[in-house]
Amino acid sequence: PSVLDSFALLSGQLNTLNKVLKHEKTPLLRNQVIIPLVLSPDRDEEIMRQTEGRVPVFSHEVVPDHLRTKPDPEVEEQEKQLITDAARISPDVAQKQIQSLNKMCSNLLEKINKEERESESGGLRQNKQTFNPADTNALVAAVAFGKGLSNRRPPGSGGSVQSGQPGAGAIIAGASGMQQVPMSGAPAQQQPMLAGVQMAQAGQPGK
């Protein structure tokens, strides 16, 4: 009930105000001049709140700008010059200029939209993932820890030759073959010694 009573009171006051403003003896508000009654160089919080922080003070410096109903004399002269120049142009020429300006604006907008689309597509391409994390982790685990590798040895590997030394059998075969090659210019008694050294080395697999 209190809300309805307040609403009824406000509605009645608004109707009375509208009747007063619409009365034939009431002058038009647009023909009235606003005169500042109080000017202060101090900061006014109420004005700050009403102007959303644009006008901190209401002093003699800002009053002519904020209460002006006409532009500056320089701006007024420029507007008169533009109006005079526009009156000299024929309607056909003006229409052509309007069409050319619209065409330029349309081309500019198309270029801007194209740049935006290309930048968005480039960003999507950069963010797109180009690898499979599961495959990468599997490769790293296989190289670092041997995970997933087979434990079978290649066929023909004997027990005397250690795995990981595939050249041991070739060294032994080469050493046995070197025993049968005579050395030119070397004494005959040095050949058995060479053969013995080679046989001793051949008896140590892996060296």
For residue 58, the tally of other CB atoms under 10 A from its CB is 20
Domain annotation covers residue 142: no
With respect to residue 83, please indicate whether it lies within any of the assigned structural domains. yes
- Of 20-24, 25-29, 63-67, 193-197, the range with the lowest mean pLDDT is 193-197
Identify the domain containing residue 115 by its residue range: 71-119
pLDDT tens for each residue of 146-181: 887 777 666 665 544 444 444 444 444 444 444 444
Judged on CB neighbours under 10 Å (0-12, 13-18, 19+), 169 is middle
Q: Are 70 and 76 in contact (CB under 8 A)?
A: yes
* Domain-embedded: residue 95: yes
What's the one-letter identity of residue 174? G
For residue 148, what is the DSSP state? T
- d(Cα 83, Cα 77) in Å, to the nearest integer? 10
Tokens coding 58: 């209401």
Cα(177)–Cα(171) distance, rounded to whole angstroms?
10
Asked whether residue 111 is domain-assigned, the answer is yes
CA atoms within a 13 Å half-sphere pointing along the CA-CB vector of 160: 8
Instruction: Enumerate the β-bridge partners of residue 58.
Output: 40
Residue 79 confidence class, pLDDT cut points 50, 70, 90: very high
The pLDDT value given to residue 154: 61
Residue 103 placed within a domain: yes
Q: Between 193 and 63, where is the model more confident?
A: 63
The model's pLDDT over 96-111, given as tens digits with 9 standing for 90+, comes to 999 999 999 999 999 9
Summarised one tens digit per residue, pLDDT across range 137-148 is 888 888 888 887
Q: Is residue 79 part of a domain?
A: yes
pTM of the model: 0.27
Does some domain include residue 55?
no
Helix (H) or strand (E) holding 104: helix 91-127
- The Cα–Cα gap between 54 and 38 comes to 19
Distance in Å from the first CA to the final CA of the chain = 109
Residue scoring higher pLDDT (50 or 180): 50
Where do we find the tokens 């006409």?
Answer: 70
For residue 73, what are the CA distances in angstroms to 62, 78, 168, 193? 18, 9, 105, 121
Give me the residues paired with residue 40 across strands.
58
Specify the number of domains making up the chain: 1
Whether the Cβ atoms of residue 196 and residue 178 lie closer than 8 Å to each other: no
